[in-house]
Amino acid sequence: MASEASGLVQGTLHMLILKTLTLEPLHGYGIGVRLEQISQGGFLVQAGSLFPALRRLERDSLIRGEWRVTENNRRAKYYHLTPQGRARLTRETRQWEAQMAAIARILAATREAL
């Protein structure tokens, strides 16, 4: 619900997932927890959004999954970033920043400035 409540756009979720994976490979649940931690509870990503997003990113060869053993001795699929994924993240981050800046300027605009 949280992801919907926060109005997260599909593309944004992809970007965020890619970002979490720049630090270290994570499994599905780990990605959700990491997003929640970093955003300090701002984003709660549901499995119903997370798994389709992972599948799509994997399909596009931006991330790659690998089965590994977790610290609790369980098997889990760890995702890591591919070079294409890293390139995509850089590009999207730049775009995002540009967009944010533009939006911020619009929101900050006052009658006088026009």
Partner 1 sequence: MASLRRFVAGLKGLFRGKRLERELDEELQSYLESSVDMKVRSGMTPEDARRAARAELGSVEAVKDQTRDVGWETTIEPLWRDVRYAVRTLRKSPAFAAVVVVTLTLGIGANSAIFSAVNAIMLRALPAERPDELVSVTALYPDGTEPFSYTAYRRIASDGARLVDAIAASTSRRDALTIDGPPEAVDVKWVSGNYFTTLGVPTTVGRPLLISDDPQPPGMAVAVISDTFWARRFGRDPAVVGRTVRLSGAAFVIVGVARRGFASETPGETVDLWMPLSAQPNAPSWIWKGHSTTWLSILARRRQGVSLAQARAGLEPVYERVRDAVAADTDSADFRRSILASRLRVSEASTGVSRLRDNLVTPLMLLMGIVGLVLLVACANVANLMLTRAVTRRREMAMCLALGAGRSRLVRQGTLEALFLAAIGGAGGFLLAIWGTSALSSLLSGVLPVMLDISPDWRVLVFAGAISCATAVLFGFFPSLSATALDPLDVLKSGGGGRGASRIAFGRTLVTMQIAVSLVLLVAAGLFVRSLIRLKDVDLGFDPNQVMLFRVNPSAGQQPIPIEARRQLYRQVLERAMSMPGVDHASASFSGVLSSETWRNVITIEGLASPDGRTLRTFANVVTPEYFDVMRIRVLRGRAFTDDDRAQAANVAIVNDAFARQFFGGAVPIGKRVGLCSSESCGPSAARMMDIVGVVEDAKYSNLRQPAPPILYMPFAQVEQRLGEIQVRTAGDVSAVGSSLYRALADVDRRLTIVGMMTARDRVDASLATPNMVARLSSVFGLLALVLAAVGLSGLVAYMTTQRTQEIGIRIALGAGRREVRRLVLGNTLRPVALGAAVGIPAALALARLLSGLLYQVDPFDPVVLSLSLGILAAAALVAGYLPARRAVRVDPIKALRVE
Footprint of partner 1 on residues 25-44 (CB under 8 A)?
27-30, 33
> Residue 42: phi, psi to the nearest 5?
-70, -35
Q: How far is the CB of 97 from partner 1 (least distance, A)?
A: 23
- CA–CA separation, 3 vs 53, rounded Å? 13
Cα 53 from Cα 102, distance rounded (Å): 27
Q: How near is the Cβ of 98 to partner 1 at its closest, in Å?
A: 22
Among 22, 61, 95, 99, binds partner 1 (CB under 8 A): 61
Which residue, 1, 35, 41, is CA-closest to 15? 35
- Per CB under 8 A, residues contacting partner 1 are 27-30, 33, 46-48, 51-52, 54-56, 59-61, 70, 72, 74-77
